Structure 1
């Protein structure tokens, strides 16, 4: 009789242990999600899944702004080039009022000058051309002389026909240029030496 009670007590204890184990298992199963064994635990609520969230764009480098061109260094302004000199034609027209005086001669009892006509260079001095010719000169002609007839004069000073004749006699063939004028009789009544440096 006592042995039967002991067995009944052991059976009751075994049942209680089984119930305790079952209760513990059920508690663990309630905490665990349903699903096939070995499945990954779901992610925390509110956290987006890696597959469903678009990848955040990589931060791009800011566009490089073009630097404004450096201001040009002001260059020193050069003076404008001088205009080219006009072409010089030495074949200038014969001067109508200038002669080169070479010598004096008293032919025919009156004063005569041996002269040549000519032209002014471009630029340049008076250039005689053509043959020598004779021009009578009045005794009362208005004559103005400068250097070298009067060495210290540059502006001109009146001299007489005799003074001019005397200088030409001692200094022949110089070909000094003179502006002249003829009167109605074809005689020189005005003679003005052109100053030559």
Structure 2
């Protein structure tokens, strides 16, 4: 083949190809333009903490409680109980009796000497005891018992006719108190006025005597 014939043909083909390329670039610029970079992915940033707001503190580390060792309570020795000796025989105190007419502070609060009985209207349900207050005197050495020493004037005290009454010698033949009725007491006192027998008494809510017990004297 003749080389000189081929050269003009090759050059014509190359020129045609180049013209085609240039024509494509003019019609669609995008084809010739370099590929634009893809837009970067939009990332939403977390809003910044406002000024003055501090991040929450980290949780404190767990603290293991320290257990204090048990302390034994000191044992306090009890002092030994004082030794007690056998009680001595009780002896009367000087204040237990009077050797002179008793004063107001010496008067026995719940005993009196009975002298007489005054009957009242039966509708009252009571009788009057004529009595004298006093205190126990000191017993002489040659006597069997102490006397009851009266003081002040005689007074009257109401006795309920349903009262609990006990008597001993000489009203009844016994050294121990025996239950008797109020009428039996009235009869004996009428037969033996001004005897001065000593009685212990208790008063009820109405102010009248509801319990009367004779005190035995030898």
TM-score, normalised via structure 1 length: 0.53
Check whether the contact 2:165–2:179 (CA below 8 A) recurs between aligned residues: yes
Q: Deviations over 1:75-100 (max 9, x none)?
A: xxxxxxxxxx9767525511001010
1:178 aligns with 2:199: yes
Task: Give me the whole-angstrom Cα distance separating, in 1, the residues matched to 2:209 and 2:189.
Answer: 16
- The alignment partner of 1:166 has SS state of helix
- Which residue of the partner structure matches residue 96 of structure 1? 109
- Residues 51-66 of structure 1: matches in 2 within 5 Å? none
Gapped regions of structure 2 (runs ≥ 5): 1-91, 140-145
1-structure distance, mates of 2:189, 2:130: 10
Unpaired segments ≥5 residues, structure 1: 1-84
Using the TM superposition, give the Cα deviation of residue 161 of structure 1 relative to its aligned residue in structure 2, in angstroms: 0.6
Deviation at 1:122, TM superposition (A): 2.5
Q: In structure 2, what is the Cα distance between the partners aligned to 1:185 and 1:104?
A: 19
8 Å Cα contact 2:98/2:135 also seen in 1: no
Which residue pairs with 1:121 in the alignment? 137
Conserved? CA contact 2:130–2:155, under 8 Å: yes
- How many residue pairs get aligned? The number is 113
SS in 1 for 2:185: helix
Distance 1:94 1:108, change over 3 A: same
* 1:142 match: 164
CA contact 2:112–2:200 (8 Å) conserved in 1: yes
SS in 2 for 1:103: strand
Aligned to 1:195: 216
What residue is the counterpart of 2:182 in the other structure?
Answer: 161
1:122–1:134 CA distance, 2 compared to 1 (3 A) = same
TM superposition score normalised by structure 2: 0.48
